[in-house]
Amino acid sequence: CGEVLVKPGTVDSKFGRYLNLALKLREDADYVSEGGVFITAQIAKEQVERAGRFLAMAEAFMINRG
Protein backbone atom coordinates (compact mmCIF):
# COMPACT_ATOMS: atom_id res chain seq x y z
CA CYS A 1 0.00 0.00 0.00
CA GLY A 2 2.71 2.47 1.00
CA GLU A 3 4.91 2.25 -2.06
CA VAL A 4 2.08 2.05 -4.57
CA LEU A 5 -0.66 4.25 -3.12
CA VAL A 6 0.56 6.40 -0.23
CA LYS A 7 3.91 7.71 -1.49
CA PRO A 8 2.49 8.98 -4.79
CA GLY A 9 -0.36 10.63 -2.84
CA THR A 10 -3.10 8.46 -4.32
CA VAL A 11 -4.56 7.77 -0.85
CA ASP A 12 -4.27 9.51 2.50
CA SER A 13 -1.10 8.57 4.37
CA LYS A 14 -3.11 7.66 7.48
CA PHE A 15 -4.10 4.42 5.73
CA GLY A 16 -0.45 3.45 5.39
CA ARG A 17 0.00 4.14 9.11
CA TYR A 18 -3.11 2.07 9.89
CA LEU A 19 -1.68 -0.91 8.01
CA ASN A 20 1.78 -0.54 9.55
CA LEU A 21 0.37 -0.42 13.08
CA ALA A 22 -1.96 -3.37 12.45
CA LEU A 23 0.97 -5.44 11.20
CA LYS A 24 3.11 -4.49 14.21
CA LEU A 25 0.30 -5.33 16.63
CA ARG A 26 -0.28 -8.69 14.95
CA GLU A 27 3.41 -9.54 15.11
CA ASP A 28 3.67 -8.42 18.74
CA ALA A 29 0.57 -10.39 19.72
CA ASP A 30 2.02 -13.53 18.13
CA TYR A 31 4.87 -13.38 20.63
CA VAL A 32 3.04 -12.21 23.78
CA SER A 33 4.37 -15.24 25.69
CA GLU A 34 7.90 -14.09 24.80
CA GLY A 35 7.51 -10.50 25.99
CA GLY A 36 5.27 -9.24 23.20
CA VAL A 37 2.34 -6.91 23.61
CA PHE A 38 -1.03 -8.02 24.95
CA ILE A 39 -3.76 -6.56 22.76
CA THR A 40 -6.51 -5.00 24.87
CA ALA A 41 -10.17 -4.91 23.88
CA GLN A 42 -9.84 -1.15 23.28
CA ILE A 43 -6.89 -1.61 20.90
CA ALA A 44 -8.76 -4.36 19.06
CA LYS A 45 -11.86 -2.14 18.77
CA GLU A 46 -9.78 0.72 17.33
CA GLN A 47 -8.22 -1.63 14.79
CA VAL A 48 -11.63 -2.92 13.69
CA GLU A 49 -12.87 0.66 13.27
CA ARG A 50 -9.78 1.58 11.25
CA ALA A 51 -10.23 -1.52 9.11
CA GLY A 52 -13.76 -0.39 8.33
CA ARG A 53 -12.49 3.05 7.28
CA PHE A 54 -9.78 1.40 5.19
CA LEU A 55 -12.32 -0.82 3.42
CA ALA A 56 -14.59 2.17 2.73
CA MET A 57 -11.62 4.06 1.25
CA ALA A 58 -10.62 1.05 -0.86
CA GLU A 59 -14.15 0.61 -2.16
CA ALA A 60 -14.40 4.30 -3.09
CA PHE A 61 -10.97 4.12 -4.69
CA MET A 62 -11.99 1.17 -6.85
CA ILE A 63 -15.29 2.76 -7.86
CA ASN A 64 -13.61 6.05 -8.79
CA ARG A 65 -10.97 4.27 -10.86
CA GLY A 66 -13.80 2.97 -13.06
pLDDT digit of tens for each residue in the chain (66 aa)? 567 677 777 888 899 899 999 998 988 887 766 776 778 999 999 999 999 999 999 999 889 886
Contact 1, 16 (CB under 8 A): yes
Instruction: State the DSSP string of 3-31.
Output: IIIITTTSS-HHHHHHHHHHHHHHHHHHT
